[in-house]
Amino acid sequence: MKRVFDIAAALFGLLLLSPMFLLVAVFVKMGSRGPMFFKQERMGKGFKPFYIYKFRTMKHDTSVSGKQITVGNDPRITRVGWYLRKAKIDELPQLINVLKGEMSLVGPRPEMRQYVELFRSDYTEILKIRPGITDLASVKYRDEAAILGRAVDPDGEYLHRILPDKIELSKEYLRRSSVVFDITLILKTLPRLFASKAPSDELGLRNSSRHS
């Protein structure tokens, strides 16, 4: 039932958003040279690696070679990329991952290999199901960038405080998982889209976030 819902919703979403995808693609290409999509390896169901899709928000060849933590004035991020990140529009291509069977609409957010290996025993339980575009942690940490921006050590803050909490939230999702609960989380996630603010340099803020 969950897989049927995922396929139907992903197809509907891609059809509905296709004009916006084309528009975003044009702006991404105009903003800097390079591909339309950013791909990064994540760990999927059963520890099977896959490549997650996002609209590219960084300058070509810098998002994969640089640090995983980015700051508000990071010169790698394009101007268009700021708005895509703020509105979470950069994550919409993950509907393609859903159609491919690598992800679900709702499920534990997929992590990079190094983080999964550090908490492998926890992920043995979590990765019994497909990772998702949104989950409890996505709702709770929708302002993760601001949290990391206030940290003295953003990497340490993520590894020692935020990630362990996300793992517990993923386990809670496993206990509560149902179609009704999934729809509830989707409805809580949708307001994040298109609710972007101006880039942090224009607001006088200094935020940090993982390119994830």
Domain extents in the chain: 2-210
Q: At what angle do helices 179-189 and 2-31 cross, to 10 degrees?
A: 20
Q: What is the pLDDT of residue 93?
A: 96
The residue assigned the tokens 């980015």 is 70
CA dist., res. 89 & res. 194, Å (int):
7
Q: pLDDT per position in the chain (212 positions), as tens?
A: 899 999 999 999 999 999 999 999 999 988 888 889 999 999 999 999 999 999 998 886 654 445 565 545 566 788 888 888 888 899 999 999 999 999 999 999 999 999 999 999 999 999 999 999 999 999 898 877 778 778 888 889 999 999 999 999 999 999 999 989 999 999 988 876 655 443 333 323 334 445 44
Q: Are 106 and 134 in contact (CB under 8 A)?
A: yes
- Give the C-alpha separation, 212 to 194, whole Å: 19
Residue 49's DSSP bridge partners are: 43
Output the CA–CA distances (angstroms, integers) from residue 111 to 115, 118, 179, 199, in the order listed. 7, 11, 23, 26
Check residue 132 and give its pLDDT.
Answer: 97
Cite the DSSP H helix spans in the chain: 2-31, 79-87, 94-99, 113-118, 120-126, 136-140, 144-149, 154-157, 163-176, 179-189, 200-203
Count CB-CB contacts under 10 A for residue 178. 10
Residue-level pLDDT at 205: 30
What is the pTM assigned to this prediction? 0.83
What is the predicted pLDDT for the residue at 209? 47
Q: Residue 70's pLDDT is what? A: 52
pLDDT of 71 reads 47
